[in-house]
Structure 1
Amino acid sequence: MDTTKGHRELAVKYALNDREGVDALLSDVHRLGARRFERGDYAACDVLIDLASAIEAAGLTPRQREALRLYYVEDLTLEDVGARMGLESGRKRASRLVITGLNRIAAVYSRWNYGELTRNEMWERETTDGEAIV
């Protein structure tokens, strides 16, 4: 039994170190949540937990967080996000908030080298004082 197949499939589907990958992941957040609860999919659990951690680490402003929630979780259009948030330039400003939020989350995944390190590479990395990271 291949216990890492689900993780590999999701890593291929979502290249999370760029905005497009984070957009794809957030667009599928409902589907991943269903996989997590209906099938007990551990890979989906891991991806969703990591996403929550990345969002926290991204240092999003409250407005960016709200725009992302409305757009991806409540499935509103950018026009509706802008209207709901009371943004003067509506769609344009909502789009800017979403894109900036996606970029910040992608930067976190990039800093984490998410999905780019193998176990052997992790063992070979060293701290600045020369001790191996375990």
Structure 2
Amino acid sequence: MADPLRIPPAPGIPGGLVLHASEFTERFSHAGGPGGQGVNTADSRVQLSWDAAASVALSDAQRARLLTNLAGRLAEGVLTVDASEHRSQRRNRDAARDRLVALVTEALAPPPRPRRPTRPSVGARERRLEAKRRRSALKETRRPGWD
């Protein structure tokens, strides 16, 4: 893999990131599932690994946020992504790279702003109570002996 992986600017990544090809490890293997001879002979499954803990592309704050948010997906600081849904190795390489970009972008995004609690307006409360009164009156007409 000669070309670097570019992560576009996003919240938490103001200028974008460029992850150099030397930081990645690609492994190829047989994909599982149906497919017969094509699956059994072609190494189309791609496993892309990136050592996030030792990456020089990240600032200290970005590294800390990434390691915290992806703690469940990391093994000793290494993020691994698999792709085997396509028949060709090239398309699986692209899919793995796209997945890695999406994971890193999502992990570096700042947390959402907390929700500010609100209350229903006076008009909304009145409309709700009026609807309850109408429904109650309708059910009242269904009672036996109502005349």
Q: Normalising by the residue count of structure 2, what TM-score does the alignment of the two structures yield?
A: 0.29
* Structure with a larger share of its residues in strand: 2
Computing the radius of gyration from Cα coordinates, the structure with the larger value is 2
* Structure with a larger share of its residues in helix: 1
With a CA cutoff of 8 Å and minimum separation of 6, indicate the structure with the bigger relative contact order.
1
Q: Normalising by the residue count of structure 1, what TM-score does the alignment of the two structures yield?
A: 0.31
